[in-house]
Chains A and B, each alone.
Chain A
Amino acid sequence: MDEIRNEILNIEKSAERLKALAKDNNAIRKNAEIILTFLYILKFITPTADTGA
């Protein structure tokens, strides 16, 4: 599960960067935001069992 969590964090960094790069392009920015929405869910469904963090 740790490897999965790390990968989620990597994708999150990329999606944030994509969003920033595309601040003048509605379509790319919106799709980057949608990736971030699903990353929110991915983080929610892969909690650390001890702390929930």
Chain B
Amino acid sequence: MGEFWNAYTETLPQEKLQNIEFSYFKNLLAFAKANSELYKDKLKGINTEDIKTFADIKKIPFTYKEELRKWQEDVEPFPYGGLLGIDIANVSSFRQTSGTTGKPVYVPESYESWQWRIESWCHILYMAGFRPRHRVFLPFGYNVYVAFWEAHYAAEKIGCEVVPGGALDTKGRVNKILELKANAMCGTPTYLLNIAQEAMSMGIDPKTLGIERALGAGEPLPEATRKRIEATYNCKMYDHIGSTETCGFAGMCEAQQGLHIVEPFFLVELLDKDTLSKEVAEGELGVIVITPLGRRSFPVIRFNTNDVAVKGPSTCECGRTSQKLMEIVGRVDDISKIRGVLFSPKTVEQLIRSEFPEIVEYELVVTREDIMDKITLRMEADPKLSRDEVEEVAKRLGERHKIKTNLSCKVVVEPPGTLPRYDLKAKRFKDMRGKH
């Protein structure tokens, strides 16, 4: 271990990284207050010169996704509104959020900001062992979403050979991987499993595709799913976290123990869920609040991601000194109460990926009948299983679900190919309470 993309910044002592980030934070704050309509308004009563110590950062209010939407609606210049930090003539590319939680946010990137994002992503790919010898296949639709555009350009910058796998169906992508002997991939965990499933239906063992390593994006990657992908392809599977608003800000190194924050590109705060005022201690759960420190086209300060993670150490066997996130637990919104019990869809994903290799796809639907919440777990089994075997899997799944979540559910077996497949963010949890 001990190979770095930037041997200087990746091994600086944490205290020095904090000084650098504080200095970058102050620069960005002054820039945003002078150039972004959103922050001219938001920082009205705040003198940026009063931010003198690292602790003073907490005086700056959070930025929420709803505000980003509000400052774009009917605010000139179209379509970015008050979020722009630069002259619109200098915007060189358009991206947008997926709209999973509401109206999409349109994100302007200048050439400078985009290259800054790519530089940050180079750290993520390099940490995951991507090198010039890799031919990287990107099974992605190349559309308005940022996912994988960053991977594409960062892989190029590192020196990999990139194969853009857009405009192909899954079968076409399997054939292209084989034809070109691609040996690395990036994709949503769901879609990497779908590709493997498609390969199997074509009579091809995914292990023979030659994929040596893969990087997940766009969805949480529970450890059980990560291991399942590794076993399916006989490859090394890595994770990263990011979003359109924040950029990719943390990635997994070869030690595969948590995600390193890409410092000093990002100031990441992990704050206690209840008060959002204190940094949590190592091993504790915190809400991720993030500031991308060098992006000027779209300044975002103390963005409350609503994602919850476990704070890790700033030491690692790989030699990096950046802060780590040990586990991304999910979105604050995803953790809901069902029949009075706290429920996280990630628990069910962990269960299925670790104990039920026979289940090809699944979906969780929560409905309310009279006053009673009901969970239906729809599943598709491997088509090679007999009817008796499928029934046994369904019965066992219902029992294990009850043990893991303290909630009973109705398991429904669906015919092969019935449930939706996703190549971007999977939507396997559908809370229909209050929608009928």
Contacts and interface: CB of A to CB of B under 8 A. Distances in A.
Interface of A: 1, 34, 37-38, 40-41, 44-53
B20 A34 contact: no
B12 A49 contact: yes
Interface string B8-52: 110010001001111110000000000000000000000000000
B19 A50 contact: yes
Nearest to A42: B119
Contact of B16 (A38, A50, A53): A50
Given A41-B119, A49-B20, A52-B21, 5 more contacts: A38-B115, A40-B116, A49-B12, A51-B20, A52-B19
Interface residues of B, number: 19
Interface of B: 6, 8-9, 12, 16, 19-24, 111-112, 115-116, 119, 264-265, 294
Given A41-B119, A52-B24, A47 B264 contact: yes
10 contacts: A37-B112, A44-B119, A44-B265, A48-B20, A49-B12, A49-B20, A51-B20, A52-B22, A52-B23, A53-B23
B115 A47 contact: no
Contacts, number: 47
Nearest to B17: A49
Contacts of B16: 49-50
Contacts of A38: 115
A46 B209 CA distance: 40
A12 B294 CA distance: 18
A34 B111 CA distance: 8
Nearest to A1: B8
Contacts of A51: 19-20, 23
A44 B20 CA distance: 10
